[in-house]
Structure formats: structure tokens, C-alpha cells
Amino acid sequence: MSLLVVGTVGIDVIHTPTGSAHDVLGGSATYFAYVGSFFTDVHLVSVVGEDFPPEYRELLESRRIEMSGVEVVPGGKTFRWRGRYEEDMNRRETLEVHLNVLEGYRPRLREEHRRIPYVFLANSSPVLQLETIEQLDAPELIVADTMDHWIRSEHDELLRLMRRIDGLVLNDQEAQLLADEKNLVKAAHRIQQMGPKFVVLKKGEHGALFYDGDATYVLPAFPTTDVVDPTGAGDSFAGGFMGYLAANRSKITAHALKEAMAYGIVAASFTVEGFSLERLVEVDRAAVEERMERFRQMVRL
């Protein structure tokens, strides 16, 4: 099955305790699509400016990523983000954001995109995420990401969104905020009761937690000593998670969702080993499977 992702494509400047990367390819939909392309065809819907470097477009097009849905705004500038990670790389600070062409952008799906059954709504306003859902013809699995900003500023719209999606993916602190609950297991349970069939909490270096109203699963992160840049880890997780499900075609059971979560964890473990996509471009499906097998062995009891 094909995979549709609607989200941001951008240009990042990233500072970490060990180095910096300037004007590198970033954006939630970028990481998601790149990882998803290890598993299946990915259709990317986003917007960039005329300044978007052709080599970045070529990098994405060299994979199984179809980019007819990436609007180029004449004379426009691409979304830009600059951030700095602290010594504890679970913490980061946004230093600059320039929405540029994202300002006022509303995703309009082309006819062929509306029929794609597996859909990921990367982090954006719940209003836009809802508008995207309205345009879908036959979704089989809709998963959305969100963040603290929307939990605070568009709470009602987010609650509305949660009743329209199959899965919500969010990080641990966001889950605590949304559920008003510090215990992560309880927080996941509460959020699941707000509407989605399942919830996945991303815990960064501590792995991920899944709850579907019945099963609760927790998996650790794949242990890597080589954390260079955590940017895009969450979106890579989502790309591996949904890529596996879309390619797998099997019934979406709790067990399949756990397997998918493991693929997401493995994908994210590659992403953090380099700035931007630099580590991911060295990776292929075989490398993912090899690390997945090591992960299986690691947690086998």
C-alpha cells in the first residue's frame, strides 16, 4: 500500500554540544517520507519556496518519494528553523523560526492523493489536519502527530481531530500536558479515551509506549552511543511505524502495531546518528532489517 504524508519540508540550522549544521534539509514530512520510502511508495504533500535547493529535491526524488504534491510558491521562501540542543540532548531550544511559505498554507490534495489509504498528518495545526482528513476518499489508517503549542492554543480542535483519527503519536511531555497526568501509562490511557484507537508515546532515548484500550506495550530505544543530532527522530519513528504497516498489508492487530513500533525505533536510531539526513542516506532496507534483528535479540527474554 502507498503512504501519504502531509507536513513540513524545511531548511534547518542545528547546534548541538558537539557541532553545528547549516542550511541542512529538515522538516517533519521530510524525515517521515525518507524513512517511509525504505518500506513503500510515499507521496509527499507540502510547500516550499523558490529557494528550495534542487539537490534536496533530487535527494528525495532519488527514493520512492513522489513529490507532485510539493507546491513551490513563486518568489516564496522555504520554512526555516534554527535550534540548539543542550548537553542533555532530550532538551532543545528553538532559536529562530521563519514560517515563510507555510504562513497561510492550506494543503489541497490532488485527486490521486485523496485515494491513498495510509495517511500520516505530521505535526501542524489541528484545523489543517482536519481539513486534510475532509479531503480523503477512502482512508484505512490515519495517524497524526501534534505538539504542546496546539495542545495549548487549539485544544478544542485537537479534541475534534482525535475523534477522527486511528492513531495519535506524540512525545512524553506533550502527553503529560494533554492528559494532565504525570504517569505516562495513565496519560496514554487517558488520551486513548479521548478518541483515537491507539496512542503511541515517543520517549526519546527511553523508547516508546503503545496503548490501544487493551494492550499496553513499552519498548526501549535501540541503544546507540552515537547521538549526533536528535532532530527528526520522532518523524523517523513515525515513518518506520507507518511504513512497516503500509508495506505489511496484514490486518492491523496489536501485535502488528508493536512490530511497527519496533521498526520506528530502529529507524529513529539511525536518524540521530548524524545531522539532518546524513546518516539515513547511508542506510538501506537491509541495514534496517539487520539492526531490527539485533533489537529483537536484545529484548528477547
Interaction site with a second copy (CB under 8 A): 87-89, 182-186, 189, 203, 205-207, 209, 216-221, 223-225, 227, 258-259, 262, 295-296, 298-301
Contact criterion met (CB below 8 Å) for 228 and 18? yes
What is the closest distance, in whole angstroms, from the C-beta atom of residue 153 to a second copy in the complex? 23
**Cell 495545526, located at residue:** 125
> What is the C-alpha to C-alpha distance for residues 57 and 93, in angstroms, rounded to an integer?
28
Beta carbon of residue 223, minimum distance to a second copy (angstroms, whole number): 4
Query: Among residues 7 and 264, whose Cβ is nearest to a second copy?
Result: 264
Give min distance, CB of 301 to a second copy, in A: 5
Looking at the Cβ atoms of 94 and 225, the one nearer to a second copy is 225
Name the residue nearer to a second copy (CB basis): 115 or 296.
Answer: 296
Q: Rounded to whole angstroms, how far apart are CA atoms 99 and 261?
A: 31
What is the C-alpha separation between 67 and 235, in angstroms, rounded?
18
- In the complex, the smallest distance separating the C-beta of residue 86 from a second copy, rounded to whole angstroms, is 9
Q: Which is nearer to a second copy, 64 or 186 (CB)?
A: 186
What number of other Cβ atoms are within 10 A of residue 68's Cβ?
11
**Least spacing, CB of residue 104 vs a second copy, in Å:** 39
Contact (Cβ atoms closer than 8 angstroms) between residue 22 and residue 91: no
The DSSP letter of residue 250 is S
Q: Which is nearer to a second copy, 99 or 218 (CB)?
A: 218
C-beta closer to a second copy: residue 72 or 218: 218
Single-letter amino acid, residue 289: E
Smallest distance from a second copy to CB 256, Å: 11
Residue 207 C-beta: closest distance to a second copy, Å: 6
For residue 6, the one-letter residue type is: V
Q: How far apart are CA 207 and CA 259, in angstroms?
A: 13
* Least separation in angstroms between CB 235 and a second copy: 21
Task: Name which of 250, 34, 261 is nearest 140 in CA terms.
Answer: 250
CA-CA distance, 263 to 223, in Å (whole number)? 14
72 DSSP β-pair partners: 48
Tell which residue, 177, 199, 174, 183, has the closest CA to residue 261. 199
Cell numbers found for residue 286: 537491509
- Name the residue nearer to a second copy (CB basis): 221 or 280: 221
**Dihedral angle, C-alpha 256, 262, 265, 267, nearest 10 °:** -80
